[in-house]
Amino acid sequence: MKPPRRNRHARRAGSGFAGLWSVCAQLRFEPHRIDHQLDPRGHYQVNLEREFPFHVSLFHYTSRHHTRGATWHERLELFVPLDGPVRMRMGNQVALVGPGDILAVDNLKLHNVVDFPGFDTRVVVISFLPDFVYSLGSPSHDYAFLLPFYFKQDEPPHVLRAGESIASAVHQALARLLECYFGPGDRQFYQVGCKAFFLEALYHLAGHFRTSEVLSWEFVRQQQRSLRLKPLFDHLSASYADKLTVAQAAARVNMSEPQLMKQFKRVSGMTLVSYLNQVRLSKAAHLLHETDLSIAEIANRVGFADQSYFDKRFKRVHGQSPREFRTRPGRSASGPS
């Protein structure tokens, strides 16, 4: 990996981000290759310790080196680019996240970075399970730490911009967190320190994203809805090429059809049909990049009987036709590089 570029973005964003950037300049960022952590459903698995369900990943994204396709997962994530912009698709929305911006990922929606010419940046990804900071046995006020990850239907993604006043405090907390997580210091209090600095960052983020209408029971209900629909999400990810009626989908989760359609959109941010198409198009993008199968064969393999309809839907989501996507710079004719 090439050395970090000059931190001009860090200087513009303020001393907090400059400090975070300086800490990251001492750390090793690996190319974004997570194929080995994706199961056949597209579920992105990170092994988290039961007693310490928290993990920091340091990725270097480029057009040439990043794993294609959308993923979903139960854990929550913060996503922080360091050098250049990232376009993150979550459901039907695309968030443009700049250097030093902090994105709270809408984790249960299908999400993926969107490629574009010149895409090249290091990213800090912080993952954790909700019960790391709040569970049924926690004091009721602890739910506030999770407010940045509570999304109302159709609201824009939660992004704290690097230039906002509170961002410097978050950057400082994240810098101390990374020093504790990756540093050679006393490991006896490693977990305590990581949690303390992470909660400090979440405290500032919660204050920024809080809404008076959000109560603890609303967040818990959203988690319960997600859990109830999980068997359907698993089925859609594993059998995306198969036909599925609304009645069949509702039967899988013991709901009426109207109830399913309402709850599915509240959790995923899109209709059942849109979600299934998104899964199929994500699988198609992976096959276009990793194989030499014909476009017609890929369309059929992911569940589109009509190639012209597949082409139209693919371009709407990825901004390029399947042929343009396949022939863009950085793809090896023999498969992944």
What does the domain layout of the chain look like in residue ranges?
8-209, 215-337
What integer best gives the mean pLDDT of the chain? 82
Residues 142-177 have pLDDT tens digits of: 878 888 887 766 678 899 999 999 999 999 999 999
For the residues 95-123, what does the mean pLDDT come to?
89
Percent of the chain scoring above 70 in pLDDT = 81
Highest mean pLDDT among 6-10, 268-272, 305-309: 305-309
281 contacts 219 by C-beta, under 8 angstroms? no
The answer to whether the 8-209 and 215-337 domains have the same CATH topology is no
Higher pLDDT residue, 64 or 81?
Answer: 81
Residues 289, 292, 293, CA angle at the centre, nearest 5°? 105
pLDDT at 331 over 50: no
Q: What is the pLDDT of residue 59?
A: 93
Tell which CATH architecture fits domain 8-209. Sandwich (2.60)
69 Cβ neighbours under 8 A, 6+ residues apart: 38, 42, 112, 282, 283, 285, 286
Q: Where are the beta strands (DSSP E) in 209-260?
A: none
Q: Which residue has the tokens 């006043």?
A: 165
pLDDT value at position 265?
Answer: 82
Residue 334 in this model has a pLDDT that exceeds 60: no
Q: Which two tokens stand for residue 6?
A: 């000059």
Give me the pLDDT at residue 153, please: 64
What is residue 281's predicted lDDT score, i.e. its pLDDT? 87
Please report, rounded to a whole number, the percentage of residues in the chain having pLDDT higher than 90. Answer: 39
Residues 6+ apart with CB under 8 A from 49: none
pLDDT score, position 87: 93
Output the six-digit token pair for 194. 């990581």
Cβ-contact 168, 14 below 8 angstroms: yes
Instruction: State yes or no: pLDDT of 13 exceeds 90.
Output: no
Amino acid identity at 219: F
Residue 31 or 126, more confident: 126
Q: What is the pLDDT of residues 61-75, one digit of tens each?
A: 998 777 767 777 778
Specify the amino acid at residue 305: A
Number of C-beta neighbours around residue 30 at 10 A: 12
In terms of pLDDT, which residue wins out, 233 or 196?
196
Contact 126, 69 (CB under 8 A): no
Q: Which CATH architecture has domain 215-337?
A: Orthogonal Bundle (1.10)
What average pLDDT does range 300-312 have in this prediction?
A: 92
Whether the pLDDT of residue 102 is over 80: the answer is yes
30-31 vs 54-62, strand pairing mode: parallel
Cross-strand bridge partners of residue 44: 38
Indicate whether 30 pLDDT > 80.
Answer: yes
Is pLDDT above 90 for 42? no
**3-class SS of residue 297:** helix
pLDDT in the model for residue 152: 67
For the record, the structure tokens of 81 come out as 């680019």
DSSP-assigned letter for residue 90: E
pLDDT band at 3 (very low <50, low <70, confident <90, very high): very low
H or E segment at 152?
none
Report d(CA 247, CA 260) in Å as an integer: 9
Burial of 35: CB neighbours in 10 Å, binned 0-12, 13-18, 19+: exposed
Structure tokens at 142: 């602890």
Instruction: Tell me the pLDDT tens digit for each residue of 165-215.
Output: 999 999 999 999 999 999 886 667 889 999 999 999 999 998 898 754 455
- The whole-number pLDDT of residue 56 equals 95
Global pTM reads 0.69
Residue 83 has pLDDT above 60, yes or no: yes
Q: pLDDT at position 111, please?
A: 84
Cα-based angle 219, 224, 230 (whole degrees, multiple of 5):
130
Q: What is the pLDDT of residue 109?
A: 76
**Collapsing DSSP states into helix, strand and coil, what is residue 56?**
strand
Average pLDDT over residues 298-313: 92
